[in-house]
Amino acid sequence: MEMLESFGKMDALADRGFLPGMSKEERERTARSEQIAIRISNIANMILFAAKVYASIRSGSLSVIASTLDSLLDLLSGFILWFTSFSMQTTNPYQYPIGKRRMQPLGILVFASIMATLGLQIILESVQSLISDEDEFSMTKQQERWVVGIMSSVTLVKLALVFYCRSFTNEIVKAYMKDHFFDVITNVIGLVAALLGNYIKHWIDPVGAIILALYTIHTWSMTVLENVNSLVGRSAAPEYLQKLTYLCWNHHEAIRNIDTVRAYTFGSNYFVEVDIVLPSEMPLRDAHDIGEALQEKLELLPEIERAFVHLDYEFTHRPEHAQAHDT
């Protein structure tokens, strides 16, 4: 059913020359909402970080400290993601002819690398605490009430932000949503480990910190791999290439053959290369109009950042850019 709907969109684009979607005003409204979500996330991260610093000082728990250091990185990552969003909007067509959309995966890549580095540092500190067998960890009743109250409140706020940010499709807001969800998990683990370390065995607290660190490394290592793939030019899925081929073939009745349809990642979206075959006797003006119209259609698709349409009169020649493909 989903495939039929996707091919139906290709038919609509081929027939009408546009996709039924948001108007300019709706897109601007969505962009404003995304900026508000980013600002709310940044302000919340600042306030919650201050609260968790106080909880760390009151408790002395390694698990709570690990969760607090994670919140510190939330602030750093928030700045990185805000900077990438700002950089993408302030383009210079002379210095950056194709825009700065690659800033988005690069910013997320830096963010993920910092998070993984934090995880390694926490593991080292926790292992050192276990080996040295320092004084047993303990909290007074008053300290416990403060820690439970602060960590529970922070967790509830972060959970609310998860549900708020998940309604957006923007990749940067999605990164914030993932970060908020990660914070919910780390806050719960940190609080539980601190309480168990206080009431049962003191070594549970550093073990909880190690668990948080391993989760941090795993989560953000996957994010690193995902964004590396988006930057190295990975091919689109065969099903997506089929839809593009279908759109190209139905673009104009003068198209005699489709030589190449290629789509690959170059940041968050795809670059597309299409080679179509037109009659050799067709005037240049007509051929140009057909190719330009196809390019505009392809670039209307939300997954495509830029499309290149190459016109040819036969398809028996050797592939273009063969040297680049062989190296």
Residue 168 amino acid letter: F
pLDDT digits (tens, 9 = 90+) for 126-180: 888 788 765 556 677 888 888 889 889 999 999 999 998 888 877 778 878 888 8
pLDDT digits (tens, 9 = 90+) for 179-215: 888 888 888 888 888 888 888 887 888 888 888 888 7
Domain ranges in the chain with CATH number 1.20.1510.10: 20-231
Quote the distance between the C-alpha of residue 231 and its chain's center: 12
Q: Centre a 10 Å sphere on the Cβ of residue 285 and count the other Cβ atoms it contains.
A: 8
Domain ranges in the chain with CATH number 3.30.70.1350: 238-326
Domain 20-231 has CATH 3.40.50.2300: no
Domain 238-326 class?
alpha beta
pLDDT number for residue 240: 92
Distance in angstroms (rounded) separating the CA atoms of residues 97 and 289? 23
pLDDT number for residue 120: 84
pLDDT number for residue 21: 55
pLDDT number for residue 287: 94
Distance in angstroms (rounded) separating the CA atoms of residues 161 and 155? 10
The DSSP code for 317 is: S
Residue 320 amino acid letter: E
Which stretches of the chain drop beneath a pLDDT of 50?
A: 1, 4, 17-18, 327
Distance in angstroms (rounded) separating the CA atoms of residues 70 and 42? 14
**Entry pTM:** 0.62
